Structure 1
């Protein structure tokens, strides 16, 4: 695994969607843009009125300050769509993407108002095991080509789940508790600026965008890798309960 760590650590600034399309209006109403003073940094998704889920590596190097909710276009955002970040709960064992546990919860300073423009997305209820070639999708505001820039309008692409054994072979090893989908034997997948966004299968957020191959989005060399949300359900519930008690 030592070789793997070296390969992955170099990529972690932020992870647009490759070979995708603009997301239809009134779809994916749970998507969140995590921003610093410089603008969009990472993706995320609303799991409750006051919590957004994202990747742990999104905390560095940018200083995340706010979350934009309920819009597909992040260029023109009114104050009502902005929520400031009250606290970040990064998984306590996270070190870098190469060692896994790339998951973080963001407590919002003010609850989101759910309506026909803003919704939460459900998480798995128990541990899941996705079958090979399961059709899912991933969305974000990231690059649409290697070395590009983030976009203003949300884009989405469908991806297929890749067998874990094949994924390990292609990477020479991957962290525990991950899902591989897209980016291998296809031109479809995520790119820089998409990190933290959800892998959605059958209407459920099953994964979190974690890493690709050294910022190279010109596939099909390596599968895209996501944190498997279902493996962290106890940790997620603990954080949500702890914050509820302190309110």
Structure 2
């Protein structure tokens, strides 16, 4: 179903866990999610992609493991292979990972604030998504949505040219059990959300990292990690936990 963003830094994740792509989704209506961003990430030894979302004219949020030596943000895109007139291409001036993020243990505090080189022009194709109230929690059973340009299945290594989307369900924290040897052993309910009903099969997977989990028109989560074969639930960074840090950092950096 849904595909999200490309091969963000799956090599940073331990065996059995991967960064996300969307499983069992459909093509989104063009430009129906104007906050969506496509990140072209360049590092010394590789080039990869992630998703992200615009939270102000000059700041956006993806996952912290979607960092690199150089990041180009593409806004206003639907088909990422076409030079659409709606597109805005803006380099990242500076990334600001959360101070508690550790790239050697990339599951926890997987959030980064990207300051853009210049302000985005807000219009019908490029817009903002509201952030949640600090420490707000979505009740289990809440239906949310995800979107991105990643692969469409665990068997398809190619990413989608067009933005795709899917609905997913917020699960109880117990659905991501912390077994010492299990794939969810790093799950932390204070900084993470467990999302995706195993019976429905819809989930984020390889290539979706950094994209938003949208619940009630707010960005409640960020695609972070999950099962190696793409079976739900997947794990999302809990944005509401980091609202004080986001607000403080943005105020500090505003001219």
TM-score class, shorter = 0.7 to 0.9
Does 2:91 match 1:77? no
Q: RMSD of the alignment, in Å?
A: 2.3
Does 2:240 match 1:240? no
Does 2:207 match 1:193? yes
Whole-Å separation in 2 of the counterparts to 1:12 and 1:236: 27
When normalised by structure 2's length, the TM-score is 0.84
Q: CA deviation at 1:8?
A: 4.4
Deviates more, 1:85-94 or 1:125-134: 125-134
Change (3 A) 1:12 1:149: farther
Change (3 A) 1:118 1:160: same
Whole-Å separation in 2 of the counterparts to 1:12 and 1:197: 17
- The match for 1:43 is 51
In structure 1, the residue corresponding to 2:80 is in which secondary structure?
Answer: coil
CA contact (8 A) 1:208 1:227 kept: yes
Does 2:242 match 1:228? no
Matches within 5 A, 1:140-179: 140-147=148-155, 148-168=157-177, 171-172=184-185, 174-175=187-188, 176-179=190-193
* 1:12-60 deviations in Å (ceiling 9; x for gaps): 775332100001123111000000358761000000000110000111x
* 1:186-244 deviations in Å (ceiling 9; x for gaps): 31011111100000001000000000113x22x25xx1000000000111011101111
Unaligned runs of 5+ residues in structure 2 are 1-11
When normalised by structure 1's length, the TM-score is 0.86
Change (3 A) 1:103 1:12: farther
Q: CA deviation at 1:9?
A: 2.6
Structure 1 runs, 4 residues or longer, greater than 6 Å off:
none
- The match for 1:108 is 116
Whole-Å separation in 1 of the counterparts to 2:143 and 2:18: 27
Q: CA deviation at 1:67?
A: 0.3
The number of residues matched between the two structures is: 233
